[in-house]
Each structure stands twice: as structure tokens, then as C-alpha cells.
């Protein structure tokens, strides 16, 4: 009797221990976000304004964490996509790609439409003074056509090694001794700017993977190389992400110290801030959840609950690309087929920016309201199309949306300098929209995996059927036996 009682009495404790052990990293990351916020507010209110050097010292551990994550992006992206595509036949690759692109296109359009409905209904820019909202931002004058053409150019890099470090972009130079010249008449030049050309690497990896799959037996040695490299990158990722609570803690604290006055900023841009936040929440937990349910007949919220560590990291870093290794590891642990995860997540981190699309549509119409510029239905449609294109062209790095905002403003006929109006709250909104972007990518992967179950079952792959941690355990066991 006593033994039975002891056994049943110990079970809840054992379950709690397993629960805490399996979710320890998530708890630590969430604590890092709230702890960084608390520290930042305490330091900000405890002394005189902090110098740039002092902020740099506080942000230093967070910068090291970001550098580690970014270091993993290129080898993880290339090896993951190549091994995932190589393990599938071409017809299966086409089906997965088609489902992923339809999902991304649908959710992006929904995000833009939702943003336009909210900003047209709430009208956050009505009754405000433009002059009191100026800030500083670096802008680049460019036509919408140039941005879209650069997007396609970057799909086909002239040098794959160069693509790991630089990406192509068009530069418009005004004619000498000329004023009031339209952008269409500017001199066209180009340059390679620092930053990984993710689109080019994705395209190369997809083609290489398809080629390896077509080679069948002859391509197996090369397929094995990329599979082993992918597994090695995931193991290194599992080491790095244990530093994420510390990195997120210092990144958030430093960002709060950089702000002039959080209360004053929200007073000026409060309605705009709340409109974007409402749109992001409705899209992430409403629109996406409905699409997910209609497609899979499953609720999205239990899956979202399992992504808390991923979402906290996305908020802390403000970069969907930097969060990509952690997202892949989380989905692997959730039992999603790695062949789908390693294809859909890198593509999504590159082209699926729902939060950015919504934010840019709201920002453009908000600035037009501030300027008292009435917009016709045609203008609103143009904003929708341009915001969608701009979100695809936005890099997966912090505050990349500010650059693409210029082409959205150009569509409405607003000066590029008006980007400075929203710069004060952009850093915070950027973290929220990055979190929504990452969540949409992860749910899209689960959705595509659910739709592809039968197809994936017809092309089994022994290596990909096991999760990364299971592979490590199996290999350790085999080594011990030997």
C-alpha cells in the first residue's frame, strides 16, 4: 500500500521535472527578454544619458551571440536545402515548393489587406503635426522596378562564393548640375553591398539538390556530404542556442538605453504604434490561425505554444535569418519532416515577410494621413502591390524594412525623408513583426508537412526520418558498441 502511494505520489514530481528539463531553454530565453527590459529601464532612469560607448559595452555579449548565429547561416542554409531537395524526387520537390509559395503569397496578401483596412478605419495619422515627429534615417532613392529587378538578379549570382558575402543592388545617381530631375532620368549604376545574398544561395542549393536527386546512385556520395554537414551544423546550433538567454538579455537592455524617451515617443506615435501592433496580432493569431485550421483541420495555438523559445529569440535578435537555425531545430523536435523543414524555412526567412508587408502598408498610409494627402482606390492598390514586393525584397536583418519603405512611399508620391517620421518606434515594431514573420514561417512549414504526408511517405529517406538528436544518440551508441 505504501509502495503504491509512494509510486503514485512521485509521478507528478517526475512529470514536472521532465517538463522543466525539456522547456528549460524556453524559460531562460523568456526570462532573458523580461530581464533585459527590466535592466534597461532601471539603468535608463538611474543616471544621466548613457554614452554610445557605454551602450556598446552593455550590448557586447548580445553582439557576440548574433555573430555566432549569423556565422551558421550560410553553411546551414546551403547544406540543409541541398540535402532536403536531393533526398526527394523532382516531382516531390515541385509539389513542396508550390505549396510553400502559395502559402507565402496568400498570407502576405492577407497581411497587406488587413493593414490597409485597419489604417483606413482607425486613421492614426489624423490630427497630428508632421514637424514634431522627425528623426534621422539613412534612405536610398530607388524605383520600384529597380528593386524588383535587383531581386531577380540576386537569384542568379555571377559568383557563388561572392554571394556568401555580397548582394547586388542598383544605384541611381542624379545628373550633374541638374535640379528637379525625375528618378527615371537618373544615371543607373550598380554596386555589390555587404550582406549574404540569401536568394542566390537558395537558388543554387535548390538546383544542386535537384541535380543530386536526378543522379541517383552516382550522386549519393555528394548527398551524404551535405547531409553530414547539415547534421553537424544543427549540433553546433544546439550548442550556440544555450547562449541565447544571455544574448537576448543584453540586446534588449541596450536597445532600451538607446531610446531618448519611450513615453514621449508613444505619445507622438501611439496610435500608429497601436495600429501596427493590432494588425500584427490579428494577422498572426487570427488570419494565419484560420488558414492553418482550414488547411490542416488542426488548431495552430498548441504548435505556437511549443515555439516560445523561437519567438523569444526572434524578438530579442530582430532577425528572421539569425533565428533560422533555432527555428529548424525546434521544428525537428516537434516531429516535422526535416526534408520539408530544411527547404521551407530558409525560403520563408528570405521571401515571407508578412509582418513587414503589413507594417509598410500601414506606415505609407499613416504618413499620407499626416500630410493630409487623400488617396484614391488606385493609390491604395498600388500600395498593396508595392508593399508585397517590398516585403519580398526586404533582407532578414534588423530594421531592413526601413530601406524598402522608400519605394512604398515613392508609390504614393511621398518624399523618402518621411521615413524619419516613424524611425523612433521602428526598432520596437521591427522586433514584433520579426516575431510574427518567424511564427508564420514555422506554421507554414507545419502546414506544408501536413499536406505532403502521403507524398513524403512514398519517398522515404533513412537519414531524414530520424531527428537530429536521435541521430547523435544512435551514432554514439554504435561507437560505444564498436
Give me the pLDDT at residue 261, please. 63
Length of the chain: 482
In degrees and rounded to multiples of 5, residue 171 shows phi and psi of -120, 130
Please give the Cα distance from 337 to 466 (Å, whole number): 9
Give me the pLDDT at residue 356, please. 82
Rounded to a whole number of angstroms, the CA Rg of the chain reads 24
Give me the pLDDT at residue 188, please. 87
The DSSP code for 147 is: H
Please give the Cα distance from 90 to 79 (Å, whole number): 18
pLDDT tens over the chain, length 482 residues:
445 444 444 466 777 777 676 667 767 877 887 888 888 888 887 777 788 888 899 889 988 887 887 788 788 778 877 887 787 666 667 788 889 889 988 998 999 899 999 988 988 877 665 554 444 444 456 676 777 788 788 889 999 999 888 888 888 888 877 677 777 778 888 888 887 787 788 789 888 988 988 888 888 899 899 889 888 887 887 788 788 788 888 887 887 787 666 665 566 678 888 999 999 999 999 999 999 999 999 999 999 998 988 898 888 877 787 788 889 889 988 989 888 888 888 878 767 778 888 888 888 888 888 777 777 676 677 777 777 766 665 555 555 565 567 667 766 667 666 776 776 677 778 888 889 999 999 999 999 999 988 877 766 554 444 444 444 443 444 444 43
Please give the Cα distance from 298 to 450 (Å, whole number): 10
Task: Domain 28-457: give its CATH code.
Answer: 1.10.3860.10
Please give the Cα distance from 338 to 327 (Å, whole number): 12
Instruction: Please name the helix (run of DSSP H) or strand (run of DSSP E) that holds residue 173, with its range, or none.
Output: strand 166-173
Contacts 24+ apart (CB under 8 A), 284-292: 284/354, 284/355, 284/435, 284/436, 284/439, 284/440, 287/107, 287/110, 287/111, 287/114, 288/107, 288/354, 288/439, 288/440, 288/443, 291/103, 291/106, 291/107, 291/110, 291/447, 292/443, 292/446, 292/447
- Please return the burial class of 469, using the count of CB atoms within 10 Å of its CB with bins 0-12, 13-18 and 19+: middle
Give me the pLDDT at residue 90, please. 65
The closest alpha carbon to 313, from 442, 211, 423, belongs to 442
| Cα angle, residue 40 at apex, residues 139 and 26 outer, rounded to 5° | 95
Cβ-contact 111, 357 below 8 angstroms? yes
DSSP states of 409-430 = HHHHT--GGGGGGGHHHHHHHH
Give me the pLDDT at residue 152, please. 82
Please give the Cα distance from 347 to 159 (Å, whole number): 20
Please give the Cα distance from 48 to 51 (Å, whole number): 9
- Please return the burial class of 339, using the count of CB atoms within 10 Å of its CB with bins 0-12, 13-18 and 19+: buried
Sign, CA dihedral 365-369-372-375, equals positive
Cα–Cα distances (Å) from 217 to 205, 206, 221, 289, 420, in that order, read 19, 19, 8, 42, 57
Instruction: Please name the helix (run of DSSP H) or strand (run of DSSP E) that holds residue 169, with its range, or none.
Output: strand 166-173
Amino acid at each position: 500500500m505504501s509502495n503504491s502511494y509512494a509510486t503514485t505520489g512521485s509521478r507528478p514530481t517526475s512529470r514536472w521535472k521532465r517538463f522543466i528539463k525539456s522547456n528549460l531553454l524556453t524559460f531562460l530565453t523568456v526570462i532573458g527578454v523580461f530581464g533585459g527590459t527590466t535592466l534597461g529601464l532601471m539603468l535608463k532612469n538611474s543616471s544621466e544619458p548613457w554614452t554610445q560607448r557605454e551602450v556598446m559595452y552593455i550590448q557586447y555579449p548580445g553582439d557576440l551571440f548574433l555573430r555566432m548565429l549569423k556565422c551558421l547561416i550560410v553553411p546551414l542554409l546551403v547544406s540543409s536545402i541541398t540535402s532536403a531537395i536531393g533526398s526527394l524526387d523532382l516531382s516531390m520537390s515541385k509539389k513542396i515548393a508550390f505549396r510553400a509559395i502559395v502559402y507565402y503569397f496568400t498570407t502576405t496578401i492577407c497581411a497587406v489587406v488587413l493593414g490597409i483596412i485597419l489604417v483606413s478605419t482607425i486613421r492614426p495619422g489624423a490630427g497630428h503635426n508632421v514637424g514634431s515627429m522627425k528623426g534621422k534615417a539613412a534612405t536610398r532613392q530607388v524605383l520600384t522596378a529597380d528593386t524588383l529587378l535587383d531581386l531577380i538578379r540576386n537569384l542568379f549570382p555571377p559568383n557563388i562564393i561572392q554571394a556568401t558575402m555580397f548582394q547586388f543592388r542598383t544605384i541611381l545617381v542624379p545628373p550633374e548640375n541638374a535640379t528637379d530631375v525625375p528618378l527615371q532620368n537618373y544615371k543607373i549604376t550598380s554596386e555589390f553591398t555587404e550582406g549574404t545574398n540569401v536568394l542566390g544561395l537558395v537558388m543554387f542549393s535548390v538546383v544542386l539538390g535537384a541535380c543530386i536527386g536526378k543522379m541517383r546512385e552516382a550522386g549519393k556520395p555528394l548527398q551524404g556530404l551535405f547531409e553530414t554537414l547539415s547534421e553537424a551544423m544543427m549540433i553546433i546550433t544546439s550548442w550556440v542556442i544555450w547562449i541565447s538567454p544571455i544574448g537576448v538579455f543584453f540586446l534588449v537592455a541596450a536597445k532600451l538605453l538607446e531610446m531618448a524617451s519611450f513615453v514621449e515617443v508613444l505619445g507622438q506615435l501611439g496610435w500608429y504604434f497601436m495600429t501596427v501592433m493590432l494588425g500584427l496580432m490579428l494577422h498572426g493569431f487570427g488570419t494565419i490561425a484560420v488558414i492553418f485550421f482550414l488547411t490542416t483541420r488542426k488548431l495552430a495555438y498548441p504548435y505556437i505554444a511549443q515555439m516560445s523559445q523561437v519567438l523569444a529569440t526572434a524578438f530579442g535578435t530582430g532577425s528572421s535569418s539569425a533565428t533560422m537555425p533555432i527555428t529548424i531545430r525546434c521544428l525537428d523536435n516537434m516531429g516535422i519532416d526535416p526534408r520539408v523543414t530544411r527547404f521551407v524555412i530558409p525560403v520563408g526567412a528570405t521571401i515571407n515577410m508578412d509582418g513587414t508587408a503589413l507594417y509598410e502598408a500601414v506606415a505609407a498610409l499613416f504618413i499620407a494621413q499626416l500630410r493630409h494627402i487623400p488617396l484614391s482606390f488606385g493609390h491604395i492598390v498600388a500600395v498593396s502591390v508595392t508593399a508585397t514586393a517590398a516585403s519580398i525584397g526586404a533582407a532578414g536583418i534588423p530594421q531592413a524594412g526601413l530601406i524598402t519603405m522608400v519605394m512604398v512611399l515613392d508609390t504614393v508620391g511621398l518624399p523618402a525623408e518621411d521615413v524619419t517620421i516613424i524611425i523612433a518606434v521602428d526598432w520596437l515594431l521591427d522586433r514584433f513583426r520579426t516575431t510574427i514573420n518567424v511564427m508564420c514561417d514555422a506554421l507554414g512549414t507545419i502546414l506544408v508537412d501536413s499536406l505532403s504526408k502521403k507524398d513524403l511517405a512514398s519517398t522515404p529517406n533513412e537519414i531524414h526520418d530520424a531527428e537530429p538528436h536521435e541521430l547523435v544518440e544512435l551514432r554514439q551508441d554504435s561507437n560505444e558498441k564498436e
